[in-house]
Amino acid sequence: MNAQTWWLLLEGAWTTAWISGVAIAIGVVAGLAIALVRMARIPVIDQVLVIYISLARATPLVTLVLFIFLVAPTFGIVMNRNIAGIMALTLNTAAFNAEIWRAAFLSFSREQKEAALACGMTNGVIFRRIMLPQMFTTSLPGLVNEMSFLIKGSPAIAVIGIVDLTRVTNRISAVTYEPLPPILAAAALYMIIISMLLKLQDMAEKKANRLTM
């Protein structure tokens, strides 16, 4: 492969990384918000969220991408390919993240909260200083695992014309008639992206452990 081919692959990798990164960032926060609302057990809202989580987790990502990109304009919502791709990835990962956060919330012991209340802490302070750090530490492996699955599933956005790493790889293979080199290069780039994510997980775990000691 020549320099131009590598440049195209790097551009595709950047597209994959930034679109997935935006979806991950929004999805983690949205998942936490959804989990907290669910824990409040507001009847109608809780049922709506349960339906959303079930549908988002059961629907293939490529189907969700096509649905958002093709159906939204019929309701007057016009968006470009990148926004549609980000929205689809976000809706997918937020549903999984919500269940990860909720499991962490349920694992928090009632005794700790009662002890904190006895010390005069408010619910807000308890959540911010005690619950959230523990929830983050407990949830981190699951959240990062979901992030890696999302990155590996992100080629679904190529069906609406986004030139991500997988789409670039397919184009190069079709032009050169040598699929193996670009596929191996793409695999290496995906591994680098995932490895960077795992490194961030390791750094976050070490920092969280220092804060909770």
Q: What is the pLDDT of residues 58-76, one digit of tens each?
A: 999 999 999 999 988 888 8
Look at residue 203 in the predicted model and tell me its pLDDT.
85
Query: For the stretch 180-199, what's the b/e string if a residue is b when 16 or more beta carbons lie within 10 angstroms of its beta carbon?
Result: eebeebbeebbeebeeebee
Q: What is the pLDDT of residue 210?
A: 67
Q: Find, among 183, 188, 180, the residue nearest to 166 by Cα.
A: 183
Q: Which of 11, 2, 1, 24 is nearest to 162 (CA)?
A: 11
DSSP state of 56: H
pLDDT, residue 47, reads 95
Q: What is the dihedral of CA 49, 51, 52, 55, to 10 degrees?
A: 160
Structural domains of the chain, with CATH: 3-212 (1.10.3720.10)
> Among positive and negative, which fits the CA dihedral 79, 85, 87, 88?
positive
Q: pTM for the complete prediction?
A: 0.90
Q: Residue 92 contacts by C-beta under 8 Å, 6 or more apart in sequence? A: 27, 56, 57, 59, 61, 64, 150, 153
What is the C-alpha to C-alpha distance for residues 167 and 173, in angstroms, rounded to an integer? 10
The per-residue pLDDT for 116 is 79
Residue-level pLDDT at 111: 77
- State residue 59's pLDDT score: 93
Residue ranges of the chain whose pLDDT lies below 50: none
